[in-house]
Structure 1
Amino acid sequence: MLVNYADAAHWPIDPTRQDLVEEMRASPRGPHSDDLRKLLHRMRWTGVGKRHVLIVLEPNRRWMLGRLPGRRGAPVETFPNRIFTSLAEAEWAVFVMRWEALTGQRLDDGTPAP
């Protein structure tokens, strides 16, 4: 069940919490602990624009990496070289990019940065 935490968008990210990274790596689609849910909520709602997102190319089959623009109405930046056929792999890739953006620490996901 999705729980909306009022303070989760301001929840501080502790880059030493590698347990949350490993939890996400092991199960990108969930279920997730309370702390990982708060972290994911923070990652999804941080700042305006420039957030990495997944664009559905074929429902339940293919996704492409995208990045939201800095202002409403501008086109979404797409990365045609970053196509995923597994939603779990796609979710993990976005987590890795958001983690680096918020903590300044790069996680090794085995793929080149966009």
Structure 2
Amino acid sequence: MNRYSLQPEDKQFIDEFMRNPIGHHSPGLQRVLNVMRGGELDGKYVLVILQPYRRWALGRLPARRGEPISLVEGVEYKCQLQAERDVFVRRWKDLTGEDIDHELIGEGAVNA
């Protein structure tokens, strides 16, 4: 269980992540990412490499470590940045129940 949960004021970090999903982040965004990466594993969205540096699929973690990751049918990416953004959006929804405007995500997902 996380000691910290996402709060309405954490929305300010969405734009920062969308601009720079990979690399150094502000302390506030890093805290948000730590919450998103922690907690229950069962059903958590993850990226699965299909072809290094070229193609990724959306997956969901199993309840138990060591069991296979299930792929989300029909969701593949050709851009790692767009894939990272989509996982962020999906995890945000899972944790807050709120949608993030998909216009912030941009292009790059295939059948997403």
The reply to whether TM is greater than 0.5 is yes
Distance 1:86 1:80 in 2: 18
Do residues 55 (structure 1) and 63 (structure 2) align? no
Matches within 5 A, 1:1-114: 9-109=2-102
Distance in 1 (CA, whole Å) between partners of 2:71 and 2:16 is: 28
**1 CA distance for matches of 2:66 and 2:24?**
34
Q: Is the 8 A contact 1:15 1:103 kept in 2?
A: no
Q: If the length of structure 2 is used for normalisation, what is the TM-score?
A: 0.82
Q: TM-score, normalised by structure 1?
A: 0.80
Contact kept? 1:53, 1:94, Cα under 8 Å: yes
Q: Distance in 1 between matches of 2:11 and 2:45?
A: 21
Identity rate of aligned residues, in percent? 36
Secondary structure of 2:9's counterpart equals coil
SS at match of 1:16: helix
Shift in CA distance, 73/21, structure 1 to aligned 2, threshold 3 Å: same
- Runs of 5+ consecutive residues of structure 1 not aligned to the other structure: 1-8
Residues paired across the two proteins, number: 104
Counterparts in 2 of 1:79 and 1:48: CA distance versus 1, 3 Å? closer
- The residue number in structure 2 matching 1:6 is none
- Could you tell me how far 1:98 is from its partner in structure 2? 0.4
